[in-house]
Amino acid sequence: MSEALLSISGLTVAFRTEDGPVEAVKGIDLDVRAGEVLALVGESGSGKSVTAMAVLGLLPRTAQVDGSIRLAGRELLGLGEDQMNSVRGAEISMVFQEPMTALNPSMRIGDQITEAIHNHRTVSKDAAWQRAVELLDRVGIPEPERRAKSYPHELSGGQRQRVVIAIALACEPQLIIADEPTTALDVTVQAEILDLIRRLAAESGTAFLLVTHNMGVVADIADRVAVMFRGVMVEIGSSREVLTAPREDYTKKLLSAVPTLPDVASQAVAAPQAEIPAAVLELRDASVTYRRGGRSFKALDGVSLSIAPGEIVGLVGESGSGKSTLGRAALGLLPLSEGTMTLFGEQIGRHGVGARGVSRRRERELRGRVGAIFQDPGSSLDPRMTVGEAIMEPMLVQRRRFPTSARQRQARVAELLEAVELPANYAARYPHELSGGQRQRIGLARAIALEPELIIADEPTSALDVSVQAAVLDVLRNLQQRMHFACLFISHDLAVVHEISDRVAVMLKGEIVETGSADEVLLAPQHSYSRRLLASVPVPDPDKQAVRREARAAALNV
């Protein structure tokens, strides 16, 4: 193979803390060659993202970095900020894990892309804007001319992630560091993005350092895999070697935690379920309409869905299909433009003279029995509040329903942290001091703080590595069995949905196109769109994934 484009040698990263230095990366060596996709995998806190941030010089001042990081033979460690700014974006680009924190909420999408272009290229305003539209189209954003004029909050989570990827591609860098680049993407768009990365690496020689917990993505795209554990590189090799014949016990543990859909042929499909009685949440012909500039768009279009006590209903579909809109409507964050919503047997969302719904006060009481886990923990946690304060906040808001003393609340916070497998002393930390996976677990702890009867979970495991994901799913299942809460589980990970859900609903363009038991929908789907979703799910075996990729490509060319 060619000489390394990126060469990391003896890299050590330690953070200064009140309790002394904490070593996050411990003398690792790593090379990435031009045109190569190297996947860096491991649990949250293993040092993956710290390594990526060290390459770009984006670690905080409390970090002490030693060793060598060379790009095309040029030493990066020790460069001044002005010199590193000339490297960032032009020679090395970054795709961050959480798009809502990576994008400027006050700028139009197109302006953010053109800003990245103008930082490193001398081009006209019109040329930069046209390039921005082309990039949005390239990463699969529908109506790119219109979306270029939108703001981040007007896009779905998956669409925002694609915008971040478009920004990374803007100046055609030699190396792209992608930190969980497909975390927020549904499986069909994920497949398209992976095709794009593969094509860029093959045609332009762009190198990719891919930080991910998705072993299916690794099998689909990576040439080599490096496995990290507690700051140490424990195993490195070709994707086939590491994924099919791992040497180290830790790697075997990671792979054993990967959720996979069963073989359809060996799985008996469950019989149709009886009609759901006494729904805790019921939507009837529900629609949500967005209006802008005299135009209207139905994000939900005549949706009917019920969730029974103690039932977990999985909701799947592409980004922009209406999944998160449905979840936000169920939480009362979006009003219905048509149809009705019943919560715990009482109609809500209608107020005033002649309204049939309950009073606003009664609605607040009903919603106090609902917990929520949002998709993006970076934007759902207040950066000014400690972890303990964030978890405790629902108890303070709902004091009438959940009366406790300050000591009891603190003890409850410790219990909740333990339930999501975080140390009790994390209560004193702030969100920015935690990894993305750790912040997602804080979101889960906060959601169950009041022992809710219904949880709306929007991508609750999207930021978690596979072993922590398995642990959190076990926690969620155990809590659900003990507390008997119902759950609307919104996710693009079909294997996780199959593992945890009783029933599954598939959404397309604001409508539910198929519902049934998890086995019925995910092992023997009837709708063509459901079948296309399943065909796009990557499996953690390079040989099997290559066959699936070829079959998918053939189907798309028909």
Read out DSSP for 364-425? Answer: HHHHTTEEEE-S-HHHHS-TTS-HHHHHHHHHHHTTTTS---HHHHHHHHHHHHHHTT--GG
In a domain, 381, yes or no: no
Rounded Cα distance between 520 and 487, Å, is: 19
pLDDT score, position 107: 96
Give the Å distances, CA to CA, from 479 to 239, 309, 426, 452.
36, 14, 21, 11
In a domain, 552, yes or no: no
In a domain, 481, yes or no: yes
Grouping H, G, I as helix, E, B as strand and the rest as coil, residue 478 is helix
What type of residue is 3? E
Give the Å distances, CA to CA, from 202 to 112, 131, 199.
27, 22, 5
Rounded Cα distance between 466 and 543, Å, is: 21
Q: Are 218 and 194 in contact (CB under 8 A)?
A: no
Picking from 137, 172, 207, the residue at the C-terminal end of a domain is 172
In a domain, 493, yes or no: yes
Kindly state whether residues 361 and 480 are assigned to the same domain.
yes
Which residue range is the domain that position 310 belongs to? 277-369+453-465+476-526
pLDDT one digit per residue (tens) for the chain, 558 residues: 467 999 999 999 999 988 889 999 999 999 999 999 999 998 878 899 899 999 999 999 999 999 999 999 999 998 999 999 999 988 999 987 778 788 999 999 999 999 999 998 899 999 999 999 999 998 888 899 999 999 998 887 778 888 998 899 888 899 999 988 877 677 887 888 788 788 878 888 889 999 988 888 899 999 999 999 999 999 999 999 999 999 999 999 889 888 888 765 444 455 555 555 679 999 999 999 988 777 888 999 999 999 999 999 999 988 778 898 999 999 988 999 999 999 999 998 765 545 567 888 888 888 889 999 887 767 778 899 999 999 999 888 887 666 678 888 899 999 999 888 789 999 999 988 887 678 878 888 898 888 899 999 988 877 677 777 787 788 788 888 888 999 999 988 898 999 999 999 999 999 999 999 999 999 999 999 998 888 888 888 888 888 888 877 776 664
- Number of independent structural domains in the chain: 2
pLDDT score, position 533: 87
Picking from 152, 172, 192, the residue at the C-terminal end of a domain is 172
Kindly state whether residues 351 and 485 are assigned to the same domain.
yes
Kindly state whether residues 294 and 159 are assigned to the same domain.
no
pLDDT score, position 1: 47
What type of residue is 460? P
Question: The domain that contains 307 carries what CATH number?
Answer: 3.40.50.300
Residue with tokens 């994901």: 469
pLDDT score, position 2: 61
**Taking every pair of C-alpha atoms in the chain, what is the biggest distance, in angstroms?**
75
Q: Are 345 and 67 in contact (CB under 8 A)?
A: no
pLDDT score, position 219: 92
Among 520, 459, 507, which Cα is nearest to 303's?
507
pLDDT score, position 268: 47
In a domain, 491, yes or no: yes
In a domain, 506, yes or no: yes
pLDDT score, position 265: 46
Q: Are 258 and 540 in contact (CB under 8 A)?
A: yes
Rounded Cα distance between 409 and 429, Å, is: 17
Kindly state whether residues 461 and 344 are assigned to the same domain.
yes
pLDDT score, position 139: 82
Rounded Cα distance between 116 and 227, Å, is: 32
Q: Are 359 and 347 in contact (CB under 8 A)?
A: no
Kindly state whether residues 282 and 168 are assigned to the same domain.
no
In a domain, 113, yes or no: yes
Kindly state whether residues 355 and 496 are assigned to the same domain.
yes
Task: Provide the β-strand partners of residue 210.
Answer: 39, 178
In a domain, 457, yes or no: yes
